[in-house]
Structure 1
């Protein structure tokens, strides 16, 4: 896979990545096959972050927001449609909603999707990027590894991504082990919902004035405000 070879030159993988999952089991859970390049990416890098900005979802992740096999992909499809239809002038989707499968996220809360069309030919799937569940969209004609290589090499500038993405160099940072100091509900309760709502509105992310804050907004806030998590 030439793209993966070039990507590892720019972003060296960890010496000992996390063990790859049982792909037969994962695909059986999902009810579909996954692209071969994604499986190779996971085997080479494991969970982590490219350029301290772009993270891929992976099977059976301990955090629901990053779990490729969890409810998040379906939930995001539903929320995209809810946000789209709530606008005064609903914008058209560049791809059928049912073909979008979330598999990554950025530090700005932008989501990466496979365009799973046709569903039985995963190695032909292209990549779509959505700005925080709203328009605009960006579509990349190529697989996920080719997309990552284009982004980190600078040959493609995704309009939704910051222009200074590569200013600090290209790198891959393995994910830290999940700390078991508190249950997810306890951690969520310790966060200040007022601050999260204030940040979301300033970022342009739609958020309800009352009630439970969606988990994907909480996770986006955590990625944007890591220093506050240690207070």
Structure 2
């Protein structure tokens, strides 16, 4: 039984999901993607596991949860700044971190993209939404999801109630076309924006944001929708 077989047996996917042109997506990203991720994305489409864990998807309804949107480059740039300035511990080289998931609490899931060009060997990392802790899993995405959703693997960053209702997947309406590939750190205008300005805006609008470290994707999305992008 393959990794995707074990995952779908544990957590059944929805009856239909949008198809993705993976060769074009990978060509635009400039890198191949793990086979198990493509199988998961094709089987489940955009949505959330246990109404908590969202995998980034080319057909995600918002570009801040899109695999091809600004999130991966933006978070990588924030982590590089944290590492260079020493304001927040980053145990991995940010150049090798690719965001491919986000939780409702604001944790990010990453691929550790080493060795480059060998996505079948990439492993998983996650970091705490409002703290310094990191978590690492020494396997691929399908095995990670199966282990976590079955309760065999505990992610200390996730709440104790994560599996209170068992393993299930809730789909969201997909975007009709994939988000165009955007590999430049955002805000999307390309202009230089001081993260402290975004934090000040967020607090003024009732968002709880950390005083240092990365800015949650939901805040970046709301900041942009308010006309700041």
Q: TM-score when scaled to structure 2?
A: 0.77
Tell me what 1:65 maps to: 64
Greater displacement, 133-142 / 119-128: 133-142
SS at the partner of 2:98? strand
Q: Distance in 1 between matches of 2:37 and 2:103?
A: 17
2:113 aligned with 1:116: yes
Tell me what 2:227 maps to: none
Greater displacement, 10-19 / 58-67: 58-67
Greater displacement, 128-137 / 113-122: 128-137
2:60·2:174 contact (CA, 8 Å) conserved in 1? no
Tell me what 1:104 maps to: 101
Tell me what 2:31 maps to: 32
C-alpha RMSD of the superposition: 2.7
2:143 aligned with 1:146: yes
1:83·1:134 contact (CA, 8 Å) conserved in 2? no
Q: Distance in 2 between matches of 1:62 and 1:73?
A: 16
Aligned-pair CA distance for 1:168 = 1.3
Q: Write out per-residue CA displacement over residues 195-223 of structure 1, whole angstroms, 9 at most, x where no aligned residue.
A: 433x33xxx46489xxxxx67142799xx
Q: Distance in 2 between matches of 1:53 and 1:116?
A: 24
1:95/1:83 Cα in 2 relative to 1: closer, same or farther (>3 Å)?
closer
2:171 aligned with 1:174: yes
Aligned-pair CA distance for 1:25 = 0.3
Aligned-pair CA distance for 1:15 = 0.7
Structure 2: gaps (5+ residues): 176-200, 223-229
Aligned-pair CA distance for 1:82 = 2.8
Structure 1: gaps (5+ residues): 179-190, 209-213, 222-231
Higher RCO (CA-CA < 8 Å; seq separation 6+): 2
Which residue of the other structure, out of 189, 192, 196, is the alignment partner of 2:206?
196
Aligned-pair CA distance for 1:60 = 5.0
1:220/1:112 Cα in 2 relative to 1: closer, same or farther (>3 Å)?
farther
Tell me what 1:16 maps to: 16
1:44/1:108 Cα in 2 relative to 1: closer, same or farther (>3 Å)?
same
Tell me what 1:182 maps to: none
Q: Distance in 2 between matches of 1:109 and 1:215?
A: 6
Tell me what 1:130 maps to: 127
Greater displacement, 117-126 / 63-72: 63-72
Would you say how many aligned residue pairs link Structure 1 and Structure 2? Answer: 198
Aligned-pair CA distance for 1:94 = 2.3
SS at the partner of 1:15? coil
Q: Distance in 1 between matches of 2:80 and 2:54?
A: 23
Tell me what 1:229 maps to: none
